[in-house]
Amino acid sequence: MRPWLTLTVPELLAAPPEDIAARLAFAQAARHATLELTQRAAWIATARLLQLALAMPEASGWRVMLEYDLLRLEKRADCVILTDRAVLVLEIKDGATAHTLADLRQAEDYALDLHDFHAGCRHVPVVPILVATRGAAIPFDPPLIWQGVPPHPFRANGRSLATTLQAIHASIGVPATALDHAGWLSAPYRPVPNVLEAAAMLFDRHRSAEMVSARADAANLTRTTEAVRRAIEAARTQGKHLAVFVTGIPGAGKTLCGLNIVFGALRGDGAAFLTGNTPLVEVLRESLVRQAAPDGGRPRMQARAQAVTALQNVHRFLEHYVERSAEKPPERVIVFDEAQRAWDRAQATKPSQRRGASKLRDSEPADTLEIMARHADWSVIVALIGNGQEINTGEAGLAEWGRVVAQSPGWQAVAPSRALSAPLPSQRLAEGPQPWLGIDDDLDLTIPMRSVRDPQGAPWVDAVLAGHAGEAARIARDAGGVPYFMTRDLGAMRAALRHLSRGMRRAGIVASSGARRLRAEGLGVQAADIPHWFLDRWPDIRASDALETYATEYDCQGLELDQVGLAWGGDMLRLGGVWRMRSLSGSRWNTVKNDTERAFILNTYRVLLTRARYETVIWVPPGSPAADGPWHDPTRNAEEMDSVASYLTACGVRALEVRPAAAALATLL
């Protein structure tokens, strides 16, 4: 991304403020945006402010960038200044009389975004400054000590900005090598949008190209999207029905890939995103509506209608067309999210209190192929496969898809090799090569994208859940630490999450749906309204960052948070060197012996351990010690929870030290 206007400090000082405002207005017009008079007045005031603040010898070699686009945030930083030793990010509130918390978080978020996603900021101090032009004078205290991440925002007013810039400049000191301005300007800015941000970009036709450029460094995702495009084009030109299987590790971008098919370059095919994940549908729909029509009214109704068409509940989609056997869906391309979780025949045809008599006649894969085959010429099913994320009874697995493709005349499939090599037969598309199956390894997503800074998080989780403590410890050691911390104190976990969630980043607590004794440890309220939980912010008590309620694996699969607090439950313990899975029945735990059910519980913790884009803080409750005597609670045995904590420590999890709130977590960053 580029700033709207770049000037050296001498150029800034020589230009009339009205000319600077005019050049910014021209840049805004080139982006097809409407100029308001208040914006022009604000630009003139900003130019005058900067001219007064930068009229000092130290700034003669600095460079000023105005209106710096931050793609992921869909916002612009008012001013970014390159000195010889730092990147200064200024958020200027003209006429403001106070440095509000919301404005401080905004300034901090801009600096964090540049630090994380701009290659020129990786090893350079990035310093946020909030300027409330009519606010109180704030002394520069304490001095800036660069610790590898942006500090909390410094505060200045219209009169003190110059002295604040001087103090920051002097506090950093002279670097061994001066910051190369030309190199910084040419360095890539490649943000990693979260699922909701990416969906909003793709939903907006004017910004879908920006989404593609945002992930230009994710070659794996780009290659997979191109492989899907090739397959769709082959089906169209050759007039065939094709099932395309996309596999990937947790956090590798399967949902982004699916959303790009529906909203991105392939939207002309009338694609729809189908998922059985009701919370994902609800959150995505509500997020898109809020982004597209924040002021409500008719635009909001139109945005909701578009979102409902593009994002559909797969169960309702199938029931609709099974019941109407002569009707063809308007979409020739559908994306089936988490296709390994499609229902088998027994689950799909089973009546329930919610659905009454089931309308489905066969397994969900079988009914899906039959419905899409109603297009006589061509159609494509893109099946997104989350390896190791089956979490519920009745999920057919990949084998059912292979069975129905093989038995459905006119259907072919293409998949990566991974689809044939899973350890469990139910997770394999077929047993070896098949005449109906083509292999394209570009359809396998292997590079973790969710974790912004620590790509070793995913393999560490795999080793932990596989019971390989030594391998997990090696991964953590070689990586210099993984972004997983552990505490036995619920209050410390909450304090850590609040400290880590800087700027506009979002934290939340997650827990297994089977962790039913957490309420006795002080955490017993499951989130009731998931769209509010994911989309609203504190002080709304329904929001995730209120840290009052938790989301289960069913609520958060396919979605993500910046920081996650994982409450470890008694449903999965590490005893005698093996994982022991349990389910609570009445007032006692029962051991789960069925291999499939055991796998579901293991995968539940895989989902929960891979929800964070940055840090995960694991809270292992202290449990009830035998010393409690008659009040000892055997459903919360302290020794069993101690065993989990010991195992995680052996795997290389980092201890979270309990510290006063003001100093909490300083050593973690």
**pLDDT > 90? residue 85:** yes
Per-residue pLDDT of 295-330, as tens digits, reads 777 777 877 787 777 788 898 899 999 999 999 999
Helical axes 364-372 vs 314-323, angle rounded to 10°: 60
* Least confident among 10-14, 119-123, 217-221: 217-221
Lowest-confidence region among 107-111, 358-362, 511-515, 591-595: 358-362
**pLDDT of the residue at 456:** 84
194 — pLDDT class (breaks 50, 70, 90): confident
HEC per residue, 122-146:
CCCCEEEEEEECCCCCCCCCCCCCC
From residue 156, how far is each of 114, 129, 166 by CA, in Å? Answer: 21, 7, 12
229-234: long-range contacts, CB 8 A cutoff, minimum separation 24: 229/265, 229/266, 231/380, 231/414, 231/440, 232/266, 232/269, 232/333, 232/380
SS3 of residue 516 by DSSP: coil
pLDDT surpassing 80 at residue 250 = no
pLDDT surpassing 50 at residue 149: yes
Across the range 334-354, mean pLDDT stands at 78
Mind listing the domains of the chain with CATH numbers? 3-186 (no CATH), 220-277+313-445 (3.40.50), 457-668 (no CATH)
Averaged pLDDT of the chain: 87
| Nearest to 613, CA basis, from 178, 143, 192 | 192
Strands (E), 249-358: 272-275, 311-313, 333-336
Q: What is the pLDDT of residue 665?
A: 39
- 225-234, 507-516, 634-643: lowest mean pLDDT where? 225-234
Minimum mean pLDDT among 287-291, 477-481, 579-583: which range? 287-291
Res. 531 pLDDT band, cuts 50 70 90: very high
Q: Strand 437-439 and strand 411-415: pairing?
A: parallel
Q: What is the pLDDT of residue 663?
A: 40
Give residue-wise pLDDT tens across range 252-285: 778 878 888 887 755 666 788 898 888 888 888 8
